[in-house]
Copies of this chain bind each other. A is one copy, B any other.
Amino acid sequence: MDNFRFYVPTDIRFGKDRLATELTDVLNVYGKNVLLVYGGGSIKKNGLYDQVIDLFEKNQNTVVELSGVEPNPRVETVRQGIELCRENQVDVILAVGGGSTIDCAKVVAAGFYSDKDVWDLVLEKGYGGKALPLVTVLTLAATGSEMNAGAVISNLTTNQKLGMGGPSMIPKVSFLDPQNTFTVPKNQTAAGSADILSHLFENYFRQTTGTDVQDFVSEGLMRTVIKNCPIAIETPNDYDARANLMWASSLALNGLTGSGKGGTWSCHAMEHELSAFYDITHGVGLAILTPRWMNYVLSDQTVDKFAQFAKDVWGITEEDKMKAAKQGIQATYDFFKSCGIPMTLPEVGINEDKFVEMATQAVAHSTIKTDAYVPLAESDVEAIYRECLTESIFV
């Protein structure tokens, strides 16, 4: 196990119907001028927007809105948010939405205090400065952004989708009410679950050994998602299924499963290029890539971990390690497919035209060539993309 620091001071308010009695008290700690950040308007359909505005009125807040945050939030939107905060002397940001909305709000919060253009801030990756306080109301179980200090921003003019983060950007308080995810459609429930699983997989398959706490906890969270995602798809208002997905999303990426392990992530680096070039849903890209990546890096060197994964997560009893490993990869693929996720790139409008360019970018924007679980050169990434052109069978 490597040395690590674990410091996650987000105050999680989990459960039913807490906003009415807690939200304004939480915001009042920081001030009355609020920037309200949200996405495409689903919160106007399900009543959450009206509830929040009503609470603001009773609490005599001054509110400005940054709406229409994109599924892959764009730097132009972030710039607009920073302007709004400066023009209106905003004291605190309230993000109501999923990971995209929260990520956008985080970078607005940091950019507010910086003289630089915010894209330069993104390019620097690590942020050590101050940020406006951020409170979130989560509406989608997926990215874990509600309980960590990172954010991903896209720049479609340069075809770049890049991560940045810093301690001041972690939300002060996050409200996690599973009921706010009842209206999430089946395909987004599936894509969000694939995102959670991918965070767990990326942390699980790393080179550091002696990390039983992280790995066994991760297996437990994987089993949680595998059990509850199909229930939430079948019965969208199953409270416990939604609650388990929501809490798993936060714990999958708050340091619990990744701290103490070195090396970089592989599938996220490859997926970010798909999203950057084609603007596809992040979780779908991850679901398509992951089983092909697993199969590509499976070898005598990695078979023990994949066999452990097959046994502990999928309950596979096959004793031959290589066979068990392949069955585990097949189970992963079949699970995503059973959730209704399109499992080839052509199904989401991607063909081989830009494979070389995207592979080059995936390596350039990350360290997968040197310190991934299994290091990947441009040709490896291209080969993995190519495996995603048609349906796959691994056993």
Interface residues of A (CB under 8 A from B): 1-16, 18, 178, 209-213, 215-221, 223-224, 227-228, 239-240, 243-244, 247-248, 251, 256, 259-260
Contact = CB atoms under 8 A, between A and B. Distances in A.
B227 A14 contact: no
A212 B239 contact: no
Contact of A7 (B12, B217, B223): B12
B213 A248 contact: yes
Contacts of A227: 212
A2 B247 CA distance: 12
Contact of A212 (B6, B209, B215, B223): B223
Contacts of A8: 8-9
A242 to B, nearest CB: 10
A25 to B, nearest CB: 13
Contacts of A178: 1
Contacts of A4: 12, 14-15
A223 B228 contact: no
A211 B14 CA distance: 13
Contacts of A243: 1, 210, 260
Contacts of A219: 216, 220
Contacts of A13: 5
A224 B210 contact: no
A6 B12 contact: yes
A252 to B, nearest CB: 10
A240 B216 CA distance: 14
Contacts of A15: 1-4, 260
Given A6-B12, A213-B244, A217-B221, 13 more contacts: A1-B15, A2-B15, A3-B14, A5-B14, A8-B8, A9-B9, A14-B260, A211-B240, A211-B244, A212-B224, A216-B219, A217-B251, A247-B260
A236 to B, nearest CB: 16
Nearest to A208: B240
B216 A224 contact: yes
Contacts of A218: 220
Contact of A244 (B212, B228, B247): B212
17 contacts: A1-B178, A1-B243, A1-B244, A1-B247, A2-B15, A3-B18, A4-B12, A6-B11, A6-B14, A7-B10, A210-B240, A212-B244, A213-B244, A213-B248, A216-B219, A218-B220, A251-B256
A97 B99 CA distance: 41
User: What 4 A-B pairs have minimum CB-CB distances, sorted nearest first?
Assistant: A3-B15, A210-B240, A216-B220, A9-B9
Q: Pick the most buried of A212, A216, A227: most chain B CB atoms within 10 A of its CB.
A: A212
Nearest to A216: B220
Contacts of A216: 219-221, 223-224
A211 B248 CA distance: 11
A227 B213 CA distance: 11
Contacts of A2: 15
Q: Pick the most buried of A6, A9, A14: most chain B CB atoms within 10 A of its CB.
A: A6
A7 B10 CA distance: 6
Contacts of A210: 239-240, 243-244
Q: Pick the most buried of A1, A12, A224, A256: most chain B CB atoms within 10 A of its CB.
A: A1
B213 A1 contact: no
A260 B259 CA distance: 24
A6 B224 CA distance: 19
A228 B240 contact: no
A211 B239 CA distance: 11
A231 B11 CA distance: 36
Contacts of A251: 213, 217, 256
A260 B15 CA distance: 9
A150 to B, nearest CB: 18
